[in-house]
Structure 1
Amino acid sequence: AALPPPPPTGRALLPHPERRARPAEPCGASDASPDEGVEADLPMIDERAVEQLTEGLISHYLPDLQRSKSALQELTQQKTELACLKWEGLCISSKSHCKTLFFFSVQKRALKLQQKRQKEELEREQQREKELEREKQLTAKPARRT
């Protein structure tokens, strides 16, 4: 796209001389509306020139804006993918922790069951020893001759 022609120069684009360096009036000092006479002060604007300037600005900045938009879309997509990967990692980690906790709880129950069986076996063995001792004491002993 060709660059638009430079805007016309001259007095038409300069602000009205009275509006350039007028000191501010205190509030209520003037009875006239602040917008009074503004339209008369505006320069004549060429619509074609405005259109060409607008097209020139758009053609200058549009490629950069489009590149920025695509880069932003790519970053957004990557951020979404990264969040998904983090979530999957958390899920895998949670499953791993659950399996580990389950394994430890099974081991703990097995250990308790083993300890209970050993205790019962020890109690049975002690009971047998007591019974044997009692039978020994009940067995008739030959009397000693004195």
Structure 2
Amino acid sequence: MPLFLSRKVPLLSGRRWSAVRPRSPCSSPAGAGDASPDEGVEADLPVIDERAVEQLTEGLISHYLPDLQRSKSALQELTQNQVVLLETLEQEITKFKECNSILDINALFSEAKHYHSKLVNIRNDMMMLHEKTSKLKKRALKLQQKRQKEELEREQQREKELEREKQLTAKPARRT
């Protein structure tokens, strides 16, 4: 027997209470204001058999209990399915987070590749500039040597011309 049925029904004036029929305001006696509020209640209460109450209760329970049990099991199954769904959802979220971290790693690798190619280009440019400067230094050295040689040759030519002019210049004869 369910817990709520095992309690005793409160007694009113020695009889079991089942239901009090409300009086309509029109049916109150003329001297109702003078009478006690409990007066006349005992006369209105029908006598209810305890066995009938138990049978009605059992019938009501037997009528609704299977539906309630099915609802309870359906709710338990639904709750269990929701727990499984939540766990699956958490796993999927974890996978997406891992995918995002993999994408971040891929982005870092592509960025590193980009900067590596930039460094290779800079290195190649520096090597090319080094070669050009080396060639320019060699050319400048050759030009300097050529200029010095030309200046030396001009100087020698001038000296030869001066010497020749000296030789061509009339010399006063010496008298002997």
- The answer, yes or no, to whether TM exceeds 0.5 is yes
Question: Any stretches of 5+ residues in structure 1 without a counterpart?
Answer: 1-12
User: Which AA in structure 2 matches 1:95?
Assistant: E
TM-score (norm 1): 0.73
Query: Could you tell me which of 84, 87, 93 is aligned with 1:90?
Result: 93
Q: Which has the larger radius of gyration?
A: 2
**Match of residue 10 from structure 2:** none
Structural mapping, 1:98-113, within 5 Å:
98-113=101-116
User: Which AA in structure 2 matches 1:92?
Assistant: K
| d(CA) in 1 for partners of 2:43, 2:135 | 130
| d(CA) in 2 for partners of 1:86, 1:76 | 15
Query: Could you tell me which of 65, 77, 81 is aligned with 1:74?
Result: 77
TM-score (norm 2): 0.61
| d(CA) in 2 for partners of 1:92, 1:14 | 63
| d(CA) in 1 for partners of 2:107, 2:20 | 85
Larger RCO of the pair (alpha carbons < 8 Å, separation 6+): 1
Once the two structures are aligned, what percentage of the paired residues are identical?
Answer: 41
| d(CA) in 2 for partners of 1:98, 1:14 | 70
Q: Which stretches of structure 1, 4 residues or longer, exceed 6 Å deviation after superposition?
A: 13-16
User: Which AA in structure 2 matches 1:110?
Assistant: K
Work out the number of aligned pairs and report it: 128
Which SS does the other structure have where 1:23 is aligned? helix
The alignment's C-alpha RMSD in Å is 2.9
Question: Any stretches of 5+ residues in structure 2 without a counterpart?
Answer: 1-17, 155-176
**Match of residue 131 from structure 1:** 134
User: Which AA in structure 2 matches 1:46?
Assistant: D
